Amino acid sequence: MNKDSYHHGDLKHALLVGACEMIATEGIQNMSLRKVARKIGVSHNAPYQHFADKEALLAAVAQEGFQRLTDELDTVIERTSTQSCVEQLKACGNTYIKFMMDNSAYLEVMFGPYPYEDYPELAEAGLESLQRLIAVVARGQASGEIKSLNPVEVAGTVWMSLHGLSTILRNGKLPPQLVSERTPTQLASDFLDVIYEGILVQA
Amino acid sequence: MNKDSYHHGDLKHALLVGACEMIATEGIQNMSLRKVARKIGVSHNAPYQHFADKEALLAAVAQEGFQRLTDELDTVIERTSTQSCVEQLKACGNTYIKFMMDNSAYLEVMFGPYPYEDYPELAEAGLESLQRLIAVVARGQASGEIKSLNPVEVAGTVWMSLHGLSTILRNGKLPPQLVSERTPTQLASDFLDVIYEGILVQA
DNA sequence: CTAAAATGTGGACGCTGTCAATATTAGGAT
DNA sequence: ATCCTAATATTGACAGCGTCCACATTTTAG
């Protein structure tokens, strides 16, 4: 499709990409529909042909983020398939943190305040990512590596720790005594190790 | 000070309260400086006498949130001083989640994207809250209840799990298989239990 | 008592999200 | 090929927003 034609051709995709880039470079606070439209070279109302409102576009970006995260988790699980499930779980944690650090735009948007009822496919995409962790945990339980607690519970705990760590990392800085010259990836490893090992003397 | 006088008398405090209420009732997306000013009965420019801009007001609300959270942690630590440190840590977790559920306005704001460099007293207030957890962990280590890992590491893990859980709870709904009719408080207990017990077979 | 500092007001500007009406194009039925 | 319709993009308008400026009012210090 001609670039200068009246019809853009793939505006919906261009909006997703443009919004994502703008969030990454200017922060979600400074992202506006009109600026995205301007950047793409389209009128300020064109986006409404593809998204009901600004929130719907953001929710779509978030959904895309979950899908990409799921893909990366699949990749790393595949690549570590010869290792132990615990190693796989650690690799998933590292992948999660690396993904959020490399794609801060998604981080700003994936756990935003979009009511799940209004965006069921977003809820679905989020669940799909979590499912990957649950599967690894379940396999680890079958092979006897991981305690036979509720796998959803275990995966959920890891999931939330990862989410908590990445959102706090985003703020710019953690309390200095928490960071102490470690990279985000190292931090993730160390924090997950605490979970893996348990903190009670008699586990 | 007379209510209808030219000078409000305690506008700064009124702004903090008003902003907090508006965030709680309408969400942070729908909170505006002008609406807060209108509700208080003051001109749309009066807030600028006390806060450099909107972000500064939000950061101040966030700081207040950390201070209140610290207070509640102090209270519960005091009240459970006769119990084991593990019980204290669990009580802190419950308090954290309850605080975030009861004060959703603070949750929306406390871990927002305010660069810590720009608001050092906010960073300080956040650190202060975390410090309470670290102290409990350190005591638990001294008494032999908690493994002698780096206490900052252990407390940080709990801290991040709590943060992750509450921000995800805020979205309205967790994946249904994760909730299964548990209250937020129950969820927090159960997730923290996973951390406490450790998930590896041989801890 | 008066000058200066603190606090609050009113108006303006550019930007935003969104609505309504209109224009342009694409694609299928004839 | 042509016409109709649906899809797509545009222009214009509106209220609300954050923020800057000049000005008004009040408090406070000397």
pLDDT tens-place string over residues A75-102: 999 999 999 999 999 999 999 999 999 9
Interface residue A179 vs chain B (CB under 8 A): no
Distances (CA, A) of A43 to A4, A16, A53: 13, 16, 15
Distances (CA, A) of B87 to A41, A200, B192: 59, 12, 11
Q: For B95-148, how does the pLDDT look when each residue is reduced to its tens digit (9 = 90+)?
A: 999 999 999 999 999 988 888 889 999 999 999 999 999 999 999 999 999 988
Please give the pLDDT value at position A202. Answer: 57
Please give the pLDDT value at position B177. Answer: 67
Please give the pLDDT value at position B42. Answer: 96
Alpha-carbon distance of B8 to B153, in angstroms, equals 47
Contact B80/B88 with Cβ under 8 angstroms?
yes
Q: Residue A63 contacts by C-beta under 8 Å, 6 or more apart in sequence?
A: A119, A121, A122, A125
Q: Residue B49 contacts by C-beta under 8 Å, 6 or more apart in sequence?
A: B11
A-facing residues of B in 43-102 (CB < 8 A) are 86
Q: For A151-172, how does the pLDDT look when each residue is reduced to its tens digit (9 = 90+)?
A: 888 898 899 999 988 988 877 5
Contact B65/B110 with Cβ under 8 angstroms?
yes
Amino acid identity, residue B79?
R
Q: Mean per-residue pLDDT for B159-169?
A: 88
Identify the closest residue of chain B to A194 by CA–CA distance.
B154
Identify the closest residue of chain A to B165 by CA–CA distance.
A160
Q: What angle do CA A130, A134, A140 make, to 5 degrees?
A: 150
Contact A65/A110 with Cβ under 8 angstroms?
yes
Contact B95/B78 with Cβ under 8 angstroms?
no
A161, A162, A179, A180, best to mutate vs chain B, most B CBs in 10 Å: A161
Q: Residue B75 contacts by C-beta under 8 Å, 6 or more apart in sequence?
A: none
Instruction: Give chain B's radius of gyration (CA, Å).
Output: 20
Amino acid identity, residue A108?
E
pTM summary value: 0.91
List phi, psi (to 5°) of B117. Answer: -60, -35
Q: To which residue do tokens 């009965």 refer?
A: B41
Whose CA is closest to B69, among B36, B94, B50, B33? B94
Please give the pLDDT value at position A174. Answer: 66
Q: Which of A28, A147, A160 sits opposite B161 (nearest CB)?
A: A160
